[in-house]
């Protein structure tokens, strides 16, 4: 929809006339930089993000341009995370007024984001499941999926190996951590989530999508949002089994995704995180964002990076999917942002999946080929894609955050992740000139260089435990390793899967 702003231009005639009459004599440097992309198919019509310079406020901006911004267009909202605002308005207002404010750092025409592309194939089938047994200090699941088992050991394992179904984890992994799933929606009442899934801010409809396409549940074809959420924090399949799942619906199957709406959602998540941190008596242990969207670097990404920087500074790690284009991830944002944790996919043989992106931006790899997870209508399914690898990594990070209450220090979260992941396990078939990291996601439970009373490398020890270790000596390690450990048995899982499973891909603009 293009706004008719003739009445605005009439009201501002004197201002614009003056601007026009003097523009020929003005140096172009007097205008704030402006970015617009040549491919009109990727540009959101009449949609702009305006960023202010440091210490420039919205009131300063209003005083300079002399009119109320909200009266000039529609879809106006302030973005504290930039800082600046979004507005849909006629281009003449941008050049005639807004860019002339010396407090404006830049103006950028907003673009569409590229969602994961759903394959055209039959449904993956279903998996059977039952309830899990009670929790202890440490848990070893005897019948976990191979994908989970691979992420708690320090070696390569195959389906035929002893321990190929054993997943070790801290019993409260992810507790009091909020994992925000910015995706197609999550069915919060799915049995996999055990009552730990919530709609963001209690929304009954997403404010980031237009009705009638804004229902909060998972509206993807295969259960994309449900699958990510279950691998991050599901009772059966998650790596952060006690984390909270926060459904932030930003994608709909029928609607093109606009980056300014993603930025608006990130701004709201950051505000919610900061509000929880202010309650010092709260058990709140931190927030994580999972994002499975991407665009080519030719479409800029400057507003999104500004937002992600602010989110990270607030103490929130951003976990993003590398994408499924078999391409250099350096060409895709937000994967190529240094503030992102960019995750690629490998198969059960530790080989890069043929469709996973690669290159220097990759932080870590995780299983992503035909992984069992929550599906639609309360059922279970098997899907493939880097989005699901990102879910595993988000859940693993929640382990460290919940144990140490790391709600403000992303650098320490990154250190824990790096100290506990496995290096050199991947069978490298990456292009050698792109230097893709050979790192594999792990919760660190079986790392040989951790103390036996630690759930992972770097976990702080209580003073009494340190003294006990000193008094008993190194020979006490074996007896202390399983102190308070129980065995949890999961049901046997027999998936019915069509050949190849389902690959959820990225669509290039």
The answer to whether 224 is a known catalytic residue is yes
Pairing of strands 34-35, 104-113: parallel
Residue 173 φ/ψ, nearest 5 degrees: -55, 120
Distances (CA, A) of 227 to 38, 304, 383: 36, 25, 8
Instruction: Give CA 197 to chain center in angstroms.
Output: 16
For the chain, what's the residue count? Answer: 509
Which pair of structure tokens corresponds to residue 456?
A: 């992972």
Residue ranges of E strands in 347-500: 364-367, 371-374, 380-383, 422-423, 439-440, 485-488
The answer to whether 387 is a known catalytic residue is yes
H/E/C letters for each residue in 474-486? HHHHHHHHCCCEE
C-alpha 321/C-alpha 350 separation (Å) is: 18
Q: Which of 101, 124, 178, 183 is catalytic?
A: 183
Q: Which of 61, 169, 190, 224 is catalytic?
A: 224
Whether 346 contacts 119, CB under 8 Å? no
The DSSP call for residue 500 is T
95's CB contacts (< 8 A; 6+ apart) are: 31, 34
319's CB contacts (< 8 A; 6+ apart) are: 288, 289, 290, 291, 340, 341, 343, 390, 393, 394, 397
Residue ranges of E strands in 260-379: 286-291, 295-296, 318-321, 332-333, 340-346, 364-367, 371-374
Straight-line distance from the first to the last Cα atom of the chain, in angstroms, rounded to the nearest whole number? 21
Alpha helices in 137-258 (DSSP H): 146-150, 224-233
The DSSP call for residue 192 is G
Q: Which of 387, 389, 402, 502 is catalytic?
A: 387
Helix (H, G, I), strand (E, B) or coil at 352: strand
Indicate if the alpha-carbon torsion angle 206, 208, 212, 217 is positive or negative.
negative
Helix (H, G, I), strand (E, B) or coil at 169: strand
Which pair of structure tokens corresponds to residue 300?
A: 């800029």
Active site positions, annotated: 183, 224, 387
């Amino acid at each position: 929809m293009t706004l008719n702003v003739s009445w605005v231009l009439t009201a501002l005639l004197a201002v614009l006339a003056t601007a026009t009459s003097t523009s020929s004599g003005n140096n172009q440097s007097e205008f704030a930089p402006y970015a617009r992309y040549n491919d009109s198919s990727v540009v959101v019509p009449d949609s702009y993000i305006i960023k202010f310079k440091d210490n420039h406020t919205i009131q300063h901006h209003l005083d300079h341009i002399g009119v109320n911004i909200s009266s000039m267009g529609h879809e106006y909202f302030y973005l504290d995370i930039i800082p600046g605002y979004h507005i849909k308005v006629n281009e003449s207002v941008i050049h005639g007024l807004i860019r002339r404010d010396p407090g404006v750092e830049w103006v950028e025409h907003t673009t569409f984001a590229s969602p994961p592309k759903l394959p055209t194939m039959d449904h993956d089938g279903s998996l059977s499941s039952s309830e899990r047994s009670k929790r202890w200090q440490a848990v070893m699941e005897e019948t976990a999926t191979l994908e989970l088992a691979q992420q708690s050991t320090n070696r390569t394992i195959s389906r035929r190996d002893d321990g190929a179904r054993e997943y070790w984890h801290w019993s409260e992994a992810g507790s009091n951590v909020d994992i925000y799933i910015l995706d197609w929606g999550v069915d919060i009442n799915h049995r996999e989530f055990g009552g730990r899934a919530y709609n963001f801010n209690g929304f009954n409809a997403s404010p980031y999508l237009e009705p009638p396409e804004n229902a909060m549940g998972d509206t993807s074809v295969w259960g994309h949002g449900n699958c990510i959420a279950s691998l991050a924090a599901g009772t059966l399949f998650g790596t952060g089994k006690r984390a909270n799942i926060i459904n932030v619906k930003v994608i709909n199957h029928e609607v093109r995704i606009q980056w300014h709406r993603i930025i608006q959602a990130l701004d709201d998540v950051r505000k919610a995180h900061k509000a929880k941190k202010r309650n010092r008596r709260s058990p709140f242990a931190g927030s994580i964002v999972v994002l499975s969207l991407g665009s080519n670097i030719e479409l800029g990404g400057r507003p999104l990076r500004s937002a992600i920087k602010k989110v990270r500074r607030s103490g929130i790690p951003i976990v993003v999917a590398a994408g499924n284009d078999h391409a250099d991830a350096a060409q895709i944002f937000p994967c190529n942002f240094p503030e992102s944790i960019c995750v690629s996919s490998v198969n059960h043989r530790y080989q890069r999946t043929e469709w996973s992106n690669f290159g220097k931006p990759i932080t870590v790899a995780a299983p992503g080929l035909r992984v069992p997870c929550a599906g639609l209508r309360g059922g279970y399914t098997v899907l493939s894609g880097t989005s699901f690898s990102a879910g595993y990594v988000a859940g693993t990070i929640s382990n460290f955050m919940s144990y140490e209450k790391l709600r403000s220090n992303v650098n320490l979260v990154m250190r824990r992740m790096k100290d506990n992941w496995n290096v050199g396990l991947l069978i490298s078939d990456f292009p050698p000139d792109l230097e893709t990291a050979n790192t594999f996601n792990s919760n660190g439970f079986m790392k040989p260089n951790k103390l036996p009373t630690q759930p992972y490398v770097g976990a702080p020890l209580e003073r009494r435990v340190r003294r006990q270790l000193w008094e008993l000596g190194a020979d006490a390690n074996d007896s202390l390793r399983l102190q308070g450990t129980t065995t949890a048995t999961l049901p046997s899982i027999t998936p019915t899967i069509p050949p190849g499973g389902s690959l959820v891909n990225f669509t290039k603009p």
